[in-house]
Structure 1
């Protein structure tokens, strides 16, 4: 692995209330937040602050940003005369591979490259930068040459046009088709327009792939007369929705999953007929075990490919299983080791490139279970060349086993789940040639209202670092670059670039200090090493499990300045630009002395602690963020503790209180006190506190009108403590962006080294 020289970065830091954080230094109001006190005239708080922010927003929208970049091929050679499209703008690269847009809108968009001899490439470009940043240099874009023998496959995770898509309140009986209503994303009397709309922001990604694939986790039928009699969750999509999949180029779906038999044999027969009518091939389900295991074969650019699909989620707790057996149809049974091995071996022996799509694992986990990973190994041992897994609804990592690539779990692609941890998924982009896999990437997506959007910027980087952190197997190299995860075998090494920071810190009488690392290095970077001359320090690293507390807009869609994870669509609670601490936006909450009640901003989802899904709940939690006030009333951060599933609640805690007034940005820090599990309920997720909801309260002030602003909020889940004896190293990349240092009161110096990675083509 080649290493670029260390880069010294100087940062000014304050230590306040135990939290160490970078001071925002700028002359631009929008970058750090304005100053001044609230008006006390007749104007209402809502009108006053909304008008100020609206003026700032208009200025932002009318202020373009310059976007520059360089294009090289896979040998690192700059490419001339490549057309570069950004929204409605187009430019050409010069002899040095350079391109520039001098007047680009400040909104996230696709960057599309095309030209003679290269494969068209599309990139999610993050352009939602503060006004203080007038130009952005994109990381060097590496494009691939056209190869007639190469096929680009794109795999999406779990897909269903069912349930809340058709019936937001879920009041329709399982044996009826919901009636159309304006609140539904898909209208039952005309399903195709809503189904198309659900896919429109990822359509370009699929159209630029040669062979797109998804896991279709729902029956498709128009007469839901035969629901599974004992299953808790049974649902269906309408057949017309399948045509939206065909329109974006999907040619094959895997059906080996635990929902394909939700409406028994009648529903399965209707589903297969619906896919036939839509012109989409499939495998993984059938009227008999033999039929369910029949692979789908296709020739892709001269490479014979076989797609096998099966599930280990069998429904064994029911009399009617989800998998095909001697007495019923259903999905292919991944538990049947002999049939799985024989099917894959026969395809491999026939000279096929075998892709095993395995629906397996424990729901909502970040890593595959031992059993599910064993199924992946079984497929490779039998001859699979590529394994794509799904079912947990949460994106997992990547790895190699016996030199074969495994995507441990893609998460959701288009699915109606409201669980916080299911809203980020990954698309698997794999380029295949006759000799094997040429390259592999992971493309991050965000599900807003159940529908996928590409993401970019810090949210993409932190998510991709988490996937890299949980990747394993034979020295796999995974790292975020230009809003994708690059997945390299051990034989390919990226370039390592390091950034070093010398940090003075104080441990106060409480015996600890907390360091916010988020803005001390580029967002692709992870802390790699801590060194110190001091003795007696212990360190905990921590990750943000809230994810959306910076109030920024990272996705690519038709909306701008959105903060949909927060209940902020109000004149008194709104995403604001005029007072942002970092980035473009913060959360503003107004009040006036004439108001009687608090104004409350709620995070819409419950946030589950790490380890909840495997009943190893880690409840070592802290709340971190930044506040600003202009004649503000009392500001409180409140956590309400809930069960992981169900309606169980376990009280609430006022985690932090600020008395208000007029003050510039100040950090806040509070350790949270989630109640312990209740032994009498034996880890039952319905009756144990494993999650929290977060609320920001702003109370009326004594006189006039006022404003409270919050930004960069994080709920930090801490790892186990480690002794810092001279130095402490971390495997990178990872997504732990906070440190808690425990020791005797006093002043200390920590030397921090951050790692980030780049493709070897840039060496």
Structure 2
């Protein structure tokens, strides 16, 4: 269980009051959200009762890789993500987008100006920073083609690190990762709508080919969300989508978000634009169109604008949200404080005007 008292101080106001019901105690990232009790000696065995559902706090960061000056940070995975790890650990469940292949070899994809790869220690770095699940469904997840895919899947299996949007076939790639956090049954799905035209076929997972879950196949994506909704309290969908450096959600993003919401998604987050896009409520679901860069060696200017999205979930619905603005320096995000933080938060809230009707509160 994570220390929600850290979050109470961060959110402030009404959101902080709402979160006070969460409680919390000290613990390691691996122990967050865990519950348990010791029975007195001699107690007869019985069917375990379903744990009560407590309010939980979700945290989301944007695109992560370990290129350039960031590669050396993997020499010490326990501190690789720097101070932002405190914010990720303070939540009950955290997620980022891992925008790189996990391989030290492989054959680079043809025709790509930028190709990213990292050793398996990248997964250890995410875990140490308090990240609980990642998506590799993006336009860099298979930068080193099928050989790189095999290495990535091997690393995922060996480490046991929860990773969505990638698999040995379509069933695996579209399959939701399921986990129970403080009595809340979560299902997380990942997919990409961004693929180079000449790589759509070789990168897309099919019945006979390993690869990535593609949101270009909207019917399959909708079915994946419907499947995820069965037996779960909260469905989280992570999408790689949108237009680079475009602050406004595209018509394609807005249409897909609506379809996935109708299919059962409660939280829809994503990225690709390299800058933060707007977020808000679509009815009773929360949509954040673009989380921006997060751990990214080349971030500068507007692409260095970043942040952490915090969502409070209770009884299967998002009841409060908070965008914590950050600025990337040296490849790592640092939370903004004081006047700088207030100004960037105000600017980010203004982006809601071009999200196609997202609101500041659920309805």
TM-score bucket of the superposed structures, by smaller chain: 0.7 to 0.9
Given that 1:258 and 1:323 are in contact with CA atoms closer than 8 Å, whether structure 2 keeps it comes out as no
Given that 2:82 and 2:332 are in contact with CA atoms closer than 8 Å, whether structure 1 keeps it comes out as no
1:218 aligned residue: 100
1:449 aligned residue: 330
Counterpart CA distance in 2 for 1:272 and 1:321 is 16
1:382 aligned residue: 263
1:489 aligned residue: 362
Counterpart CA distance in 2 for 1:349 and 1:331 is 22
| CA deviation after TM superposition for structure 1 residue 200, in Å | 2.2
| CA deviation after TM superposition for structure 1 residue 141, in Å | 9.3
1:66-145 matched pairs, under 5 angstroms: 119-121=5-7, 123=9, 142-143=16-17, 144-145=19-20
Which residue among 275, 290, 295 is the counterpart of 1:394?
275
**What TM-score, normalized by structure 2, do the two folds share?**
0.83
Which residue among 291, 300, 303 is the counterpart of 2:181?
300
2:141 aligned residue: 260
SS in 1 for 2:130: coil
SS in 2 for 1:470: helix
Counterpart CA distance in 2 for 1:212 and 1:319 is 29
Counterpart CA distance in 1 for 2:334 and 2:359 is 27
Given that 1:324 and 1:333 are in contact with CA atoms closer than 8 Å, whether structure 2 keeps it comes out as yes
CA spacing shift, 1:328–1:276, aligned 2, 3 Å: closer
1:276 aligned residue: 157
Given that 2:271 and 2:290 are in contact with CA atoms closer than 8 Å, whether structure 1 keeps it comes out as yes
Which residue among 117, 121, 127 is the counterpart of 1:246?
127
| 1:458 maps to 2:339 | yes
| CA deviation after TM superposition for structure 1 residue 294, in Å | 1.0
Q: How many residue pairs are counted as aligned between the two chains?
A: 328
Runs of 5+ consecutive residues of structure 1 not aligned to the other structure:
1-113, 126-137, 167-184, 478-487, 491-763
Q: Deviations over 1:708-763 (max 9, x none)?
A: xxxxxxxxxxxxxxxxxxxxxxxxxxxxxxxxxxxxxxxxxxxxxxxxxxxxxxxx
SS in 2 for 1:121: helix
**Of Structure 1 and Structure 2, which has the larger fraction of its residues in helix?**
2
| 1:151 maps to 2:56 | yes
Greater shift in the superposed pair: 410-419 or 150-159 = 410-419
SS in 1 for 2:309: strand
Counterpart CA distance in 2 for 1:463 and 1:352 is 33
Given that 2:276 and 2:306 are in contact with CA atoms closer than 8 Å, whether structure 1 keeps it comes out as yes
Cα RMSD, aligned residues only? 2.5
Q: Deviations over 1:229-251 (max 9, x none)?
A: 22221120121232121112212
Given that 1:124 and 1:456 are in contact with CA atoms closer than 8 Å, whether structure 2 keeps it comes out as no
CA spacing shift, 1:214–1:438, aligned 2, 3 Å: same
Q: Which structure has the larger Rg over C-alpha atoms?
A: 1
**Of Structure 1 and Structure 2, which has the larger fraction of its residues in strand?**
1
2:88 aligned residue: 206
| CA deviation after TM superposition for structure 1 residue 320, in Å | 5.5
Given that 1:231 and 1:318 are in contact with CA atoms closer than 8 Å, whether structure 2 keeps it comes out as no
Counterpart CA distance in 2 for 1:402 and 1:410 is 20
Greater shift in the superposed pair: 151-160 or 459-468 = 459-468
Runs of 5+ consecutive residues of structure 2 not aligned to the other structure:
23-52
**What TM-score, normalized by structure 1, do the two folds share?**
0.41
CA spacing shift, 1:390–1:475, aligned 2, 3 Å: closer
CA spacing shift, 1:360–1:291, aligned 2, 3 Å: same
| 1:426 maps to 2:307 | yes
Counterpart CA distance in 2 for 1:316 and 1:231 is 11
Which residue among 274, 291, 296 is the counterpart of 1:410?
291
